[in-house]
Chains A and B, each alone.
Chain A
Amino acid sequence: MGQFIQFAINGLMSGAIYALIAVGIVSVFKATKVVNFAHGYLIMFGAYFYFTFAVIIPGQEWAPAWLASWQPGWMVEMRQGLNMFSPLGAVLDWAANVPRIIFGLIGAVLCNALLGMLIERSLMRPLMGQSVFAMIMVTVGLISILSGAASLIWTADAAFVPHIAPNTPIRFEVFGTMVFLFGADIVNMIIALLIFGGIVAMVKFTKSGVAIRATAEDQSTAYSMGISVPKIFSRAWILASATGAVAGAILATRNGISPSLGLFGFSVLAIVLMGGLDSYVGCFIAAMSVGVLEAMTQWKLGGEWAEIVPYVAVLVVIIFRPHGLMGQKEVERI
């Protein structure tokens, strides 16, 4: 039972990150009817940007020393006498990294947002109103462009990137079994859920959210109502790539940085489809279920089999509910 809870919690934690990634795909789809097949590669760029701003730049000679490691006198004092694995020690380790973590996150979000805007302007906008198929295939082409570009730009082996939160181990007993959690994972989950909730609230309640929904309903009507559809397009892409940057940074701290981060996007694509493409709630449910299912698969069948859980899940769901868990069936008017 304790084991079960351990894996369930692990699953929920990765589920939250899936949800954070899914939000980017859903937002772009809602506004533009385009499913971004390259979203995973945007996330990979986010991870590399975080690496650049949190590791490479602080490590340069010209960078101020406090950026790389912030060691004010009081902190050095507190540090003394602590043993290696003390929770306070982990917090202090993290505190020394705070400047570069913040620098890294801001840098990653800004750069990735810029990248998203660039993609929208140069590749999506020329096709706007013409062919959704072409736009989707452009994102397929983008997979190769981004993946090639990343390996051109970041040739160095990606080293360790700092955790966003103190990585104190937390353990407690449930039904006689020890459950282990890491502080950083919990904070990651909270960040992911906050961003997810924030975006959903924005789309539901703010003016630009209403504009997005109106555009999703009917582009030409939205146009005639005075909504600037190109602006919506561009905002959706910026939103997706900025949230993608945070997700990328989190993933980088969890699993390290590698080109396989791009492939991660495809599992999330499967999740989004499972949820129903344009439903935030559906995607949240799908993300959490896949997270938990993966953890359970890992527990019972081993880590490898967890890899295909999202793909099997999406096929099963599509067969029984062709439009996803919460997606709307489009009735064609004849």
Chain B
Amino acid sequence: MINGNLKADYGADERVLNNRNKQLFVYGSMLLLAIFPFVAGDYAMLMACKMGILLIAVVGVNVLTGYTGLVSLGHGAFVAIGAYATVVFSNLFSGLPEGILPLIVIPLAVIVSALVGIIVGLPSLRVKGLYLAVATLAASFIVTFLIEQDLFAPWTGGVNGINTPTANLLGWELDTKREMYVLITVLALTTLLAAQNLFRTRVGRAFIAIRDRDYSAEILGISLLRYKLMSFAISAAYCGLSGALFAYFYARILPEQFELDLSLELVAALIVGGMGRTMGPVFGVFIVMMVPELIKIAMGAATGGSLELARYTGPVQEIVFGLLLVTFLLKEPLGINQITDRILRSANRWPFARG
């Protein structure tokens, strides 16, 4: 018996940060995030923003794949929808005051993504596993294909991409990375917290029940129709929000940025970090973003900046990315979260016992 874990009432027992180490970790990280923009250089700032944007999308995929057990290989398309919807709505409502535009455009982009998510999720009611993975993949090919078409080019810019607006929140123009960092971080933390909350209630539990044993979930009164589509809608909404931030962050967006590579990156980050765990996406995004950067830096140093050899960087990054995913699947299928769990557990028990 570990005395430190005795709980006084149910409220205390239901807490998420139920021990000192978890509290230390979470509050410490928040403090670091707050200090970060004051000490970080431009490059670190850029990386942090990219990670935050990707994180929101991966949290979305986690809701669907990690918690509900519905595999999607096409969620890059929802990021695309969020990003393009942001541009399209901004141009559509350009008459409105700039300061309130994002407050209208972002929610609209999220809603559009969620609605498309529900449509793409429809096959999930009738097919499982593999069929769904291929169906989502097919849907995502169709979405990016349509964005590229000349037919829609007046709105989307077609294959050449389109310029994006700058976010302006009630007169505060977010035209530097440091300013965008604030918005991205706040939204990333909020969405992470919202996802965590979901799984403390009946809604999130229903998702997990569907993942673990769908017929058993049904017998408990969980409507598969309702909850599978809800899971699709939530995950697509998260990806849509990520896309909206993507559009505000970059000066220009191109359809090719949202193709298969992005969808795979989302899934890979989730698997590497740990599926069906709150912190999984956080760890996963960090690794999936940092490893290619480290390769670039290492290859740059090794080749002495030779342009001839710099060609190899892309392929090597690609290979390492694949190896990373494969290695985790073979060696630690529950991801980094499993490793940190082990560390936290032994820290929590220290100095009584190990393991």
Contacts and interface: CB of A to CB of B under 8 A. Distances in A.
Interface of A: 35, 37, 123, 126-127, 131, 133-134, 136-138, 140-149, 151-152, 155, 263, 266, 269-270, 273, 277, 304, 307-308, 310-312, 314-315, 318-319, 322-323, 332, 334
Given A131-B333, A152-B315, A308-B141, A140 B267 contact: yes
A138 B326 contact: yes
5 contacts: A37-B73, A133-B129, A141-B329, A147-B318, A148-B319
A144 B319 contact: yes
Given A140-B267, A315-B123, A334-B215, A145 B330 contact: no
Given A141-B322, A144-B319, A334-B215, A134 B133 contact: no
Given A133-B71, A134-B333, A136-B133, A148 B122 contact: no
Contact of A311 (B133, B141, B325, B330): B141
A241 B294 CA distance: 34
B130 A277 contact: yes
A248 B279 CA distance: 42
B267 A137 contact: yes
A322 B322 contact: no
Contact of B325 (A126, A140, A155, A307): A140
Contact of A269 (B134, B314, B329): B134
B318 A308 contact: no
Interface residues of A: mostly helix, strand, loop or mixed?
helix
Closest 6 CB pairs of A and B: A148-B318, A144-B322, A145-B322, A141-B325, A148-B319, A311-B138
Interface residues of B, number: 43
B319 A307 contact: no
A127 B264 contact: no
A145 B123 CA distance: 30
B234 interface: no
A126, A310, A315 — which one has the most chain B CB atoms within 10 A of its CB? A315
Contacts, number: 124
Contacts of B142: 308, 311-312, 315
Contacts of B127: 318, 322-323
A141 B133 contact: no
A145 to B, nearest CB: 4
Contacts of A263: 260
Given A136-B130, A273-B131, A142 B326 contact: yes
Given A123-B326, A308-B145, A315-B139, A137 B319 contact: no
Interface string B307-346: 0000110111111111111100110010000000000000
A318 B316 contact: no
Interface string B111-139: 00000000000110011011101110111
A94 to B, nearest CB: 35
Contacts of A152: 312, 315-316, 319
A260 B319 CA distance: 17
Contact of B130 (A35, A131, A155, A319): A35
Contact of B329 (A134, A307, A308, A319): A134
Nearest to B123: A318
A250 to B, nearest CB: 23
A271 to B, nearest CB: 10
B19 interface: no
B116 to A, nearest CB: 13
A322 B315 CA distance: 38
Given A137-B325, A148-B322, A308-B141, A273 B134 contact: yes
A334 B329 CA distance: 30
Contacts of B71: 133
Contacts of B122: 319
